[in-house]
Amino acid sequence: QVQLVESGGGLVQPGGSLRLSCTASGSSLDSYPIGWFRQAPGKEREKISCMGTTYGQFYVESVKGRFTMSRDNAKNTVYLQLNSLKPEGTGVYSCAAGGSSIVARNMCVIDFTSWGQGTQVTVSS
């Protein structure tokens, strides 16, 4: 079973950038499809981005063009680059790994089995 730990969150001004990391242990992360989630204060957790094992990618429309996922297999890490951050981007960002998956431009269906605890991102002036 893979274990996931997120890092890289913090306080940033609107328009700023952060890079979040999701680092795996216990297994090779390149064997798993990965999703990033955001839970804003008082709202449901939302799936915002996915990357499949063949590197297909999905982004929810609200972050498309501003957020980018990448993998570094040597470091067993998946990144989420957050650019042009908006106040509504505030929330707890978490990553999850799954088994079966279909990830494409317009679709992310992943059977998530492992979850990180999340990292706080606060976008405020």
Stretch 39-65: mean pLDDT, rounded? Answer: 95
Contacts of 66 (CB under 8 A, 6+ apart): 82, 83, 84, 85
Task: Taking the CA atoms of 92, 94, 100 and 102 in sequence, report the sign of the dihedral they define.
Answer: positive
Q: Dump pLDDT digits (tens) for 75-113.
A: 999 999 999 999 999 999 999 999 888 888 889 999 999
Q: What is the pLDDT of residue 49?
A: 98
Stretch 18-39: mean pLDDT, rounded? Answer: 94
Q: Dump pLDDT digits (tens) for 70-84.
A: 999 999 999 999 999
Q: What is the pLDDT of residue 100?
A: 83
Mean pLDDT over all residues of the chain? Answer: 95
